[in-house]
Amino acid sequence: MKSITRSRRRKRAAVQPEFRAYMRKMDAYRAGRAPLPLLRTGPAKIARAAAGLRKSQLRRRPAPGKWSIAEILGHLADTEYVYGYRCRMALSESGRPVQAYNQAIWTKALRHQKRSAARMLALIQTMRRANLELVESVPRREWKRYGLHPERGRETVRRTLELVAGHDLNHLDQIRAIRRKFSW
């Protein structure tokens, strides 16, 4: 039992600097606000930010190596799958490892650049409702349950919700920046 506890502590302490920076960035977007209200409104704000664009606009990259709005939407759908799974793992099997993923590889391999923006937005909204329904159905004290992330260490359900809330705002900002860049 002691070796498991030490192993968990080691994983928790082994958060790499780039992931610490990522978490600080997501926290800065959230600016101390509670995650649930942000999570409830995020998909609608993202849908409004992407509204009225043609396929060619949705697929236009702002710079080489940067994602288009279509790719951002696909990534946000992936996020709902991944973080929904992580919350389920933490709530059901607290302390167990959760899988990391390479978002750039997923975005390319899953061909988000070519997918329907309307379908991705509907998927984001549907999955977000399901994920929120789940976490809101358990007592808040259970949000202390956690998964062991291979790059970020111990991550509670609450922390996961905070990160996703900041993540929404980060990508909302990116979509708006792309629109400004091209004067759409």
Task: Show the domains of the chain with their CATH numbers.
Answer: 2-181 (1.20.120.450)
CA distance 150 to 100: 7
Task: In the chain, count H helices and then E strands.
Answer: 8, 2
Partners of residue 147 on adjacent β-strands: 155
Scored b (16 or more CB within 10 A) or e, 96-135 reads eebeeeeeeebbeeeebeebebeebbebbbebbeebbeeb
Q: Which of 144, 166, 161, 154 is nearest to 24 (CA)?
A: 166
The Cβ-side half-sphere exposure at 15, using a 13 Å CA radius, reads: 16
CA distance 9 to 11: 5
Q: What is the pLDDT of residues 97-149, one digit of tens each?
A: 999 999 999 999 999 999 999 999 999 999 999 999 999 999 999 999 999 99
Question: pTM higher than 0.85 for the full model?
Answer: yes
What pLDDT is stored for residue 146 in this prediction? Answer: 98
What pLDDT is stored for residue 9 in this prediction? Answer: 47
Structure tokens at 156: 């509670």
Cα of 42 vs its chain's centroid, Å? 11
Question: Which of the residues in the chain have pLDDT under 50?
Answer: 1-3, 5-13
